[in-house]
Amino acid sequence: MQIFIHRILDSKALWIVARVLLVVIFLSSGLAKLIDFEGGLAEMRSAGLHPPIFFNIATIITLLTGSFLILMNRCVWLASGALSIFMLLTILIVHTFWHNPVEGFEVALFFALEHVTVVGGLIMATIVSRMKEKEQGLK
């Protein structure tokens, strides 16, 4: 049984699935902001970001480029770093639970904690990507 589990964990297919699952949130958000550009602008305005067009375009580029790099397993460190910074800035700008009244505090806190958890996943993806590069002799 352990050999079977190790084969699955070592498989290229599982590594691809893990990367796809990791970027679903970024890919879907980036595509939504691209497809519904006006909706993306409204999000930027509601977050107090001006000019909203600049921040919407920067967000789309960050989310889609980061997702693409992780999916292709290229410069995962760069993509994970950019997406992590994006997630942490989102906490500071949008999910400011420390400013929310009692009724909005919990939801904002949970979003912030989810963002921190995703940053942990991005760090883990970077570590695994590096380990796989070393295994293949790609330094």
Tokens of 120: 């942990």
User: What average pLDDT does the chain have?
Assistant: 94
Tokens of 69: 């790099």
Mean pLDDT of 45-68: 97
Query: Which among 73, 48, 75, 59 has a CA at the least distance from the CA of 26?
Result: 59
Mean pLDDT of 100-126: 91
Interatomic CA distance for residues 99 and 105, integer angstroms: 8
Interatomic CA distance for residues 63 and 112, integer angstroms: 18
Residue percentage of the chain with pLDDT more than 90: 83
Count of Cβ atoms closer than 10 Å to residue 113 Cβ: 13
Mean pLDDT of 5-13: 94
Establish whether the linkage from the previous residue to 101 is cis, with ω within 30° of 0: no
pLDDT, tens digit (0-9, with 9 covering 90-100), for 79-97: 999 999 999 999 999 988 8
Statement: residue 138 has pLDDT above 70 = no
